[in-house]
Amino acid sequence: MTDQTVRGTVVIDVEACKGCDLCIDACKPGVLSMTTDETNTRGYRFAELSVGCTGCRACADVCPDFCFQVFRFHEPKSWSPEGGFS
Amino acid sequence: MTERRPDGLTVLPSDVAPTDAIQVADFTPDLVDVGEHHLCPGCGEPIAIRAVMDGISLLGLADKCMAVFGIGCSTAFSNNLDVEVLQALHGRAPSVATGVIRMRPELAVFTIQGDGDMANEGLQEVLHAAARGENIVCIMLNNGVFGETGGHLTVTTTIGQRTKNTIEGRNAAEHGHPMRIAEMLAQIDGVGYVARGAVNDAGNVARTKRMIVDAFTAQQQQLGLSFVEILTMCPTGWFIPTDEAPAYLAETIAGTHAVGVLRSELT
């Protein structure tokens, strides 16, 4: 995996999530995914973030359970599998 | 910091807010309480009601508005709203709102009803309120099923749409034809604004928010009844997986109920 630019990030309220998959399809960069086995305390799968978020807020717009806080970094960051954020 | 899932995907930490970033969207929208609600996974109604609340918040009407809820799944969500809420009988919300607006004409009175509530139980209420030119905003959340009552078809169920008693899809010979409520209201004199939005993707949510703002602006300008129909997903009532519901809405429902502004007296 090569270095990737990360322009934003989301904070996910895992306990509010009901695992409906709407954010997965809404996410244009395709960086959200549902857990497969892991569940929250209510027994639902929940969304997880991987590298490449642009902070476009599409996930927050379509989420019926209001799980997402969306942030855009002041300066885009680059991410590599070895060094993490830099 | 990062963890790796068994399938090889890298998962970034997403439980604390970053310090070197600006916030662009909030999971705690104005006027909607945080916390869990009991609507099904993938339901479109919280998205639609959030759009309504965002519109009210944008226009600064929060402390001078009154919501009138009908009966339906959306009623369960009324407890989560930080505005005054009045509960009407099944289908009678526009008539209750008429009483409120006549006594308190300075308020921004709006109704939120489902399609079963507004179009099946109390269609004459909204038609007569429109013909009288009552200065209220009526919102109809249209998913084509009686969600709370048990998933039966409604008059807005489109041809080919699955519900509990049209499991093979509605067909006109057996179940009749769907009604287009927004088109019906758009031709009535005394109506200030009529539009139909949808919440199946982020673009349509943003469009629907603009319609809500226009509807409340028309109400503030006393142009008569404003009506916004919002197409919402009901994966439970349509018997499909939650992730297929937005595409199902676009293919099956939006073909009959076309999204767009049908009438606007705003200048």
For A42-58, the pLDDT digits (tens) are 899 999 998 888 989 89
- Inter-chain touch A64–B46, beta carbons under 8 Å: yes
- Indicate which of A21, A53, A63, A68 best probes the interface with B, i.e. most B CBs within 10 Å of its own CB: A21
Residue B53 CA to its chain's centroid (Å): 11
Element (H, E) at B191: strand B191-198
Range of the domain at B182: 42-264
Using a CB-CB distance cutoff of 8 angstroms, which residues of chain A are in contact with residue B206?
61
| pLDDT of the residue at B15 | 80
User: Does the pLDDT value for residue B28 go beyond 90?
Assistant: no
**Residue B107 is assigned to a structural domain of this protein:** yes
User: Does the pLDDT value for residue B1 go beyond 60?
Assistant: no
**What's B248's domain CATH number?**
3.40.50.970
On whether the A4-74 domain is CATH 1.10.1670.40, my answer is no
Rounded mean pLDDT, B201-216: 95
Strand partners, B137: B110, B226
- Inter-chain touch B7–A36, beta carbons under 8 Å: yes
Cross-chain CB nearest to B25 (options A18, A36, A69):
A69
Q: How confident is the model at residue B29 (pLDDT cuts 50, 70, 90)?
A: confident
| pLDDT of the residue at B3 | 61
Quote the minimal CA–CA distance from A37 to chain B in Å: 10
């019906």: which residue's tokens? B184
Q: Which residues contact B154 (CB under 8 A, 6 or more apart)?
A: B115, B116, B119, B120, B144, B145, B146
Using a CB-CB distance cutoff of 8 angstroms, which residues of chain B are in contact with residue A66?
27-29, 32, 34, 46, 50
Cβ-Cβ pairs closer than 8 A, A with B, add up to 138
Would you state the structure tokens that stand for residue B250, as one six-digit string? 């676009």
- Inter-chain touch B24–A25, beta carbons under 8 Å: no
Q: What is the mean pLDDT of chain B?
A: 90
**Residue B128 is assigned to a structural domain of this protein:** yes
Largest Cα span, chain A: 37
Rounded mean pLDDT, B181-201: 94
For B75-87, the pLDDT digits (tens) are 888 888 989 999 9
Nearest residue in A to B30, CA atom:
A66
DSSP for residue B118: I
| pLDDT of the residue at B176 | 93
């289908």: which residue's tokens? B91
| pLDDT of the residue at B34 | 67
Domain count, chain B: 1
DSSP letters along A8-65, please? EEEEE-GGG-----HHHHH-SS--EEE-SS---TTS---EEE-S------HHHHH-TT
- Inter-chain touch A66–B32, beta carbons under 8 Å: yes
Would you state the structure tokens that stand for residue A69, as one six-digit string? 């806080």
Domain ranges in chain A are 4-74
- Inter-chain touch B201–A62, beta carbons under 8 Å: yes
For B214-244, the pLDDT digits (tens) are 999 999 999 999 999 999 999 999 999 999 9
Would you state the structure tokens that stand for residue B205, as one six-digit string? 């949510």
Q: Which residues contact B27 (CB under 8 A, 6 or more apart)?
A: A11, A13, A16, A60, A63, A66, A67, A68, A69, B34
Q: How confident is the model at residue B189 (pLDDT cuts 50, 70, 90)?
A: very high
| pLDDT of the residue at B104 | 94
What percent of chain B is predicted at pLDDT more than 90?
Answer: 76
| pLDDT of the residue at B7 | 63
| pLDDT of the residue at B118 | 93
